[in-house]
Amino acid sequence: MITITSYNDNENIKLFTLENDELKVVISQYGAMIKSLFVKSLQRETVCGLNNFKDDTDQTFYLGSIIGRVGNRIAYGKFELNNKEYTLPINNGEHHLHGGIKGFDKQVFDYEIKDHQLLLTYTSKDGEEGYPGTCTLTLMYHLEESSLVIETSGTSDQDTLFDPTQHTYFNLNEDKSPIGNHQLHLNSEYMYCIDESGVTYNKVLNTNDTLYDFSNNKLISECLNGTHIQLERNRGLDNYFIKIDKTNPFIAELSVHDLSLSIYTTHPGAHVYSGNYLEDLKNGSHYPFLIQNGGICFETQHVPNSINFDLSQAPILKANHTVTSRTVYHIKKGETHGNHNI
């Protein structure tokens, strides 16, 4: 079942509630934000969402949004495609971040309800935020028992870059205290490093027997409280983990004592970000999770900034072709490990 309402402080922007016996999910027309993923049996909210439209537009953390055209950083706002150099807006230190100054996260999407599925669509014009080609993003959300399924597709009339991702922050604690008590398991043994300026580059770390070894379930605090040059640069987890087996959709499992979240994706991996810069909104609104490490993101995508160092990994969308991806958030009551079939 899908119902449509509006924000209490902006009746022009729609909210879509997807509901079945197990889950209740709220998605905004603005930024395609996942504002709520509520587990009915535990009466538990699992994501970090804000209460009104003003807070959604005032926040700078990309809470729950679709980010793009390209998620994460592109070094110095430059890339080359078909022997032509493109320059993108700089909006994060020296770099271009999450699609720029007005990326997908700040757009109002067209919508359609079809066969119990929510379709959100946005067309980005040629040259928008510096990217070539008129590019259409289509998102399809639906529930399958205790899973939220997100299917993404993109087309363009010119060769371009296309690598949007969902930037939902998860926190499985009832009181939304910091996520250090969560256990994390990653289907990965290699992590891309970030340089001194904060951008992903072509150094890959074998995570076995390091702070970043999540091959078995480990408390996130064990990593965050450690000492490592990557932790110093990032103030916490902020790295791309590549799957051991790209044919296996499982990438991550997050759990507390009575609840677990498993994430599956057709992408080769995920950028894991532990909310290192979360803080109270400047407009005075207070939320318990708006604190350092108040939530964790699993940004399923291609290797960030790979257009500048590894074309075999780069998210190049060819003109008049369609690319698709699928990411699934699967909720299960009880702390469950090792069962990664869906």
CA distance 172 to 261: 8
- Cβ 99 vs Cβ 129: under 8 Å: yes
CA distance 162 to 316: 6
Sorted by sequence, the CB contacts under 8 Å of residue 175 that are 6+ apart come out as 288
All residue ranges of the chain with pLDDT < 70 are: 335-342
pLDDT for 189 equals 96
Which of these, 22, 49, 70, 48, lies nearest to 306 by C-alpha position? 70
Domains belonging to the chain, first-starting first, are: 2-333 (2.70.98.10)
Which of these, 254, 213, 268, lies nearest to 340 by C-alpha position? 254
Distances (CA, A) of 291 to 121, 178, 181, 218: 32, 7, 15, 22
Which of these, 296, 297, 248, 254, lies nearest to 268 by C-alpha position? 248
- Cβ 98 vs Cβ 72: under 8 Å: yes
CA distance 305 to 201: 7
3-state secondary structure of 245: coil
pTM score: 0.96
Give the Cβ contact number of residue 31 at 10 Å: 27
